[in-house]
A and B are shown apart, each in its own frame.
Chain A
Amino acid sequence: MSSRPPVCVTGMGVVCAGANHVGELRDLLAHPVAHFQTPTVWPIKHPSGELPVAQATALEAGEVAGRPRTHRLALLAAREAVGTGPLPDAIVLGSSTGGIAATESALEAGITSPDAYRYHGLDTVALHLAETLGVCGPVITISTACSSAAVALSVAAALLRAGLARRVLSGGADSLSRLTFHGFRQLQLVAAHGCMPLDANRDGMTVGEGAGFLVLETAPDERPVLAVLSGTGLSCDAYHATSPHPEGQGAVLAMRRALADAGLEPRAISYVNLHGTGTPDNDQAEARAMKQVFADVQPALSSTKGLTGHALAAAGGIEAVISILALRDGLLPANTGLETLDTSLEISPVRAPTQAPISAVLSNSFGFGGNNACVIFEKAPSSPSPHPFPRYAGRGDLRATTGDVPPASGLPALRIAASACLTARGGLDETWNALLSRDSTAGLVPDAAFARAAPAAFVRRLKRLPRLMLALAQTVHTASGRAAPPEAIAVGTAWGPLAETQEFLRKLFESGDQFSSPMDFIGSVHNAPTGQIALLLGSQAPNLTSSAGERSFSQALLCGSLHIVSGAGSALVVAAEAFEPRLSPLFDPEGARGPLVSDGGAAFLLIPDDGDPGVRLRWLGEGGNDGAVALVDRFAGVTPDYDAVVVGIPAGHDLAKDPAYARLGQLLPSASIVAYRDRLGQHASIGATAAAIAGRAVAVGMLPFTGAPIALPHRRLLLLELGPRLAAIEVFA
């Protein structure tokens, strides 16, 4: 075991079908009865009715004024997790639905006011928590489909270990939606009568919803430690967009990486909470993976999705709570829904709730894009065994105060081995030359600029965003001259694959909820392009997708940097957006209208700083509330070293009401603050493009964002992305 501080769980909260809080989930595990029902969240138009779902009853059915379901489910569980304890200074949340349920109703009703779509973005869920609780540090959203919450927990652990936060609220939240329900139905993956994981007659999953959160900290001083998050492991199948590798190769990798991270032998695991969706393919691949990892000594294992349903991006959060309950109370959860065991799987699940000593639990979460994540929880070392389990009677009070500002970033700078961008002018050379000629590079990327990224057969089913991202990834991979695929892939996108979402919903609505395209559903998840990059480059490395408005690139850079800190030899970082004529103006009303409307993005192949000459990129921090001003203040002592501060100001952002920007103005002469969107164009990931240009600028000593290029004697630029929260990176040569 390494000497790094343990990541302690000091709080948890949950909401799912059949359980409105942790105490109820504990009761449900002891007396497992599934609560599956016909959905009442949307009006049923399907002539044969609707297949059962696992609907959370903590909320009233349907949409009410205010925040969408995902947001409200998230807040219920987050308040329970934080309780009356100290406030977290960071949030890492997994979500794949965001405000889609509200968006579906508004789109179908033909509502054209962007107000109806203001909570569509995935980022708005975590921002809702951050604003309600008063969180000052990074607010990160991970969207890797059904592995989102488990990937989020891995990022939270890495943040704590890197000393970038003291206390992180982390987990996942997703609501039922027509997009996901009908998407899975069209893929013939929804069970007719409730899911039956590991059953010989299993016929699919039961789509669920909910939220599950943990409070994680490395130096707990106020609350008892419930468990230790001792290891996490990520991988990508790089095999197929949706089907798991038939032998569970990616799942094996993720489990082994989690075990190695925890410093545990497989036989140390007492219980495995399976991904166990109940689809024929998943359960078979996962069983094969279990046999490879655990060989002849299989631990106790079960899938609890027959009880809770499959809450998609929330599943890993809900199952983290289940894992910790199992650990604390010595309770092996039953494989609910199982009638006739599929003996060909050659694994034997727990059939009824069973008392047993449990010292370590591994929880699996797998998702579209071949995205795999495993987390391991162990008993708290100092906690005496029969510690009474805390019952949270109430939800934490709303507090007007804000929490601590997280510590300053100690992340190392990374060397840019290769970079690329795509703008209306083409690639990095064309974009640079246009800026030198004092031209604007705003506009949509011409098809010809990214048409030949991958073989025609590879991209035949792909729409604009995955094609843009493949072109960026392929360009930097080739330019880096490295034969081996990147050892981590981190992608940022605020809006995800919009054309796929639009097409899926259009066909669904036109057919009265009967038909839509399975292909478009698969393509609509935010991490679909990331999975395609892994497939194209043949990378089974950790594969992360973050989605946080204008901070999406910064968060992809953070995720890539954290993996390099933990040993990856290279990280591919990509951020991009694809304009969609119907949805973009609704979702991003200021940004997606007017002459500056753009799309495209940038990519970097980053490697540890090897001392070679070249350009470096470093993630400095993210903050909101008091944290944004504190972040700016940190530069007060060092600003003379920066030749300029390059600022991304989102359209519609009110500078007059931005205390961080005001503070920046007090610190610096206005001449050295350079806004780039007027020249470069605007979309949520344009900050990535600005960073690619800044990289070339520090290399040649001249920045072409203004009328007359600015000389860069120090060859060092500070890049700030403004918005609901501030993100900061630096570029230097």
Chain B
Amino acid sequence: MTGQTDPLVAELARKLVETLGLDLKPEAVDPAAPLIGAGLGIDSIDTLELVVLIERDYGVKIDNRAAGVEAFASLNALAAFLRQRRPASPA
């Protein structure tokens, strides 16, 4: 299983595993699977940790439940969410 062909998805998978101390390889995170409440064992504290990481590294705020549900539906969804809302980068 991979399907992490999108470099942003691969980058997010790496940060996810590193930040949350998950006991698996970043490539093993299924980009289409739900991030929360599924096999990864991610809970509300992890979610807040990711919220801080995303605001810090990508400048995108997730400050309401609806945005959280959309952003954390899967790694693919998170990448799409960031692309849509990210402040225009100089490059």
The answer to whether B45 and A514 have CB atoms under 8 Å apart is: no
Known interface pairs A186-B48, A187-B48, A518-B49; A511-B21 also in contact (CB < 8 Å): no
Residues of B within 8 A of A186 (CB): 48, 52
Asked if A457 is at the interface (CB within 8 A of a chain B CB), the reply is: yes
The answer to whether B45 and A242 have CB atoms under 8 Å apart is: yes
The answer to whether B23 and A515 have CB atoms under 8 Å apart is: no
The answer to whether B23 and A460 have CB atoms under 8 Å apart is: yes
Interface residues of B in 43-77 (CB under 8 A from A): 43-46, 48-49, 51-52, 55-56, 63
Residues of A within 8 A of B63 (CB): 188
State the Cβ distance, B63 to closest chain A Cβ, in Å.
Answer: 7
The answer to whether A522 and B52 have CB atoms under 8 Å apart is: no
Name the residue on B nearest A520 (C-beta): B49
The answer to whether A460 and B20 have CB atoms under 8 Å apart is: yes
The answer to whether B52 and A515 have CB atoms under 8 Å apart is: yes
Name the residue on B nearest A188 (C-beta): B48
Residues of A within 8 A of B55 (CB): 515
Asked if A282 is at the interface (CB within 8 A of a chain B CB), the reply is: no
Asked if A241 is at the interface (CB within 8 A of a chain B CB), the reply is: yes
The answer to whether A519 and B23 have CB atoms under 8 Å apart is: no
Asked if B32 is at the interface (CB within 8 A of a chain A CB), the reply is: no
State the Cβ distance, A200 to closest chain B Cβ, in Å.
Answer: 15
Task: Give the distance in Å from the alpha carbon of A188 to the alpha carbon of B46 in the complex.
Answer: 13
Asked if B22 is at the interface (CB within 8 A of a chain A CB), the reply is: yes
The answer to whether B43 and A518 have CB atoms under 8 Å apart is: no
Asked if A516 is at the interface (CB within 8 A of a chain B CB), the reply is: yes
Find A519's partner among B41, B45, B56 (CB 8 Å cutoff): B45
Task: Give the distance in Å from the alpha carbon of A188 to the alpha carbon of B52 in the complex.
Answer: 10
Contact with A along B72-91 (1 / 0, CB 8 A): 00000000000000000000
The answer to whether B43 and A516 have CB atoms under 8 Å apart is: no
Task: Give the distance in Å from the alpha carbon of A511 to the alpha carbon of B48 in the complex.
Answer: 17
Name the residue on B nearest A522 (C-beta): B45
Name the residue on B nearest A455 (C-beta): B23
Residues of B within 8 A of A460 (CB): 20-23
The answer to whether A517 and B44 have CB atoms under 8 Å apart is: no
Find B45's partner among A456, A457, A511, A518 (CB 8 Å cutoff): A518
Residues of A within 8 A of B49 (CB): 517-519
Residues of A within 8 A of B23 (CB): 456-457, 460
Find B56's partner among A188, A511, A518 (CB 8 Å cutoff): A511
Asked if A243 is at the interface (CB within 8 A of a chain B CB), the reply is: yes
Residues of A within 8 A of B20 (CB): 460-461
Interface residues of A in 132-154 (CB under 8 A from B): none
Find A461's partner among B45, B51, B56 (CB 8 Å cutoff): B45
The answer to whether A516 and B44 have CB atoms under 8 Å apart is: no
Asked if A128 is at the interface (CB within 8 A of a chain B CB), the reply is: no
State the Cβ distance, B72 to closest chain A Cβ, in Å.
Answer: 14
Asked if A240 is at the interface (CB within 8 A of a chain B CB), the reply is: yes
Residues of B within 8 A of A187 (CB): 48
Interface residues of A in 444-481 (CB under 8 A from B): 456-457, 460-461
The answer to whether A457 and B52 have CB atoms under 8 Å apart is: no
Residues of A within 8 A of B56 (CB): 511, 514-515
Name the residue on A nearest B23 (C-beta): A456
State the Cβ distance, B56 to closest chain A Cβ, in Å.
Answer: 4
Residues of A within 8 A of B44 (CB): 240, 242-243
**Residue in A187, A188, A515, A517 with the greatest tally of chain B CB atoms within 10 Å:** A188
Residues of A within 8 A of B22 (CB): 460
Interface residues of A in 500-521 (CB under 8 A from B): 511, 514-519
Task: Give the distance in Å from the alpha carbon of A83 to the alpha carbon of B59 in the complex.
Answer: 54
State the Cβ distance, A189 to closest chain B Cβ, in Å.
Answer: 9
Task: Give the distance in Å from the alpha carbon of A457 to the alpha carbon of B22 in the complex.
Answer: 7
Residues of A within 8 A of B41 (CB): 457
Residues of B within 8 A of A461 (CB): 20-21, 45-46
The answer to whether A241 and B48 have CB atoms under 8 Å apart is: no
State the Cβ distance, A205 to closest chain B Cβ, in Å.
Answer: 15
Task: Give the distance in Å from the alpha carbon of A519 to the alpha carbon of B55 in the complex.
Answer: 16
State the Cβ distance, A377 to closest chain B Cβ, in Å.
Answer: 35
Residues of B within 8 A of A511 (CB): 56
Task: Give the distance in Å from the alpha carbon of A439 to the alpha carbon of B52 in the complex.
Answer: 48
Name the residue on A nearest B40 (C-beta): A457
Residues of A within 8 A of B52 (CB): 186, 515-518
Residues of B within 8 A of A515 (CB): 52, 55-56
Name the residue on B nearest A523 (C-beta): B45
Task: Give the distance in Å from the alpha carbon of A710 to the alpha carbon of B14 in the complex.
Answer: 57
State the Cβ distance, B18 to closest chain A Cβ, in Å.
Answer: 11
Task: Give the distance in Å from the alpha carbon of A186 to the alpha carbon of B53 in the complex.
Answer: 11
Task: Give the distance in Å from the alpha carbon of A516 to the alpha carbon of B51 in the complex.
Answer: 11
State the Cβ distance, B54 to closest chain A Cβ, in Å.
Answer: 10
Name the residue on A nearest B57 (C-beta): A515
Task: Give the distance in Å from the alpha carbon of A440 to the alpha carbon of B79 in the complex.
Answer: 55
Task: Give the distance in Å from the alpha carbon of A596 to the alpha carbon of B88 in the complex.
Answer: 55
Contact with B along A88-109 (1 / 0, CB 8 A): 0000000000000000000000
Find A240's partner among B21, B43, B48, B51 (CB 8 Å cutoff): B43
Contact with B along A232-264 (1 / 0, CB 8 A): 000000001111000000000000000000000
Task: Give the distance in Å from the alpha carbon of A519 to the alpha carbon of B19 in the complex.
Answer: 10
Task: Give the distance in Å from the alpha carbon of A186 to the alpha carbon of B61 in the complex.
Answer: 12
Contact with B along A694-726 (1 / 0, CB 8 A): 000000000000000000000000000000000
Task: Give the distance in Å from the alpha carbon of A461 to the alpha carbon of B43 in the complex.
Answer: 12
Task: Give the distance in Å from the alpha carbon of A242 to the alpha carbon of B47 in the complex.
Answer: 13
Can you pick out 17 interface pairs between chain A and chain B where the beta carbons lie within 8 Å of each other? Answer: A186-B52, A187-B48, A188-B48, A188-B51, A188-B63, A241-B45, A456-B23, A460-B20, A460-B22, A461-B45, A514-B56, A515-B52, A516-B52, A517-B49, A518-B45, A518-B52, A519-B45
A residues with a Cβ closer than 8 A to B are 186-188, 240-243, 456-457, 460-461, 511, 514-519, 522
- Known: A242-B45, A519-B46; 20 extra A-B contacts, CB below 8 A, are A188-B48, A188-B51, A240-B43, A240-B44, A241-B45, A243-B44, A460-B20, A460-B23, A461-B20, A461-B45, A514-B56, A515-B55, A516-B52, A517-B49, A517-B52, A518-B45, A518-B48, A518-B52, A519-B45, A519-B49
Q: Which 4 A-B pairs have the closest CB atoms?
A: A460-B21, A518-B48, A515-B56, A456-B23
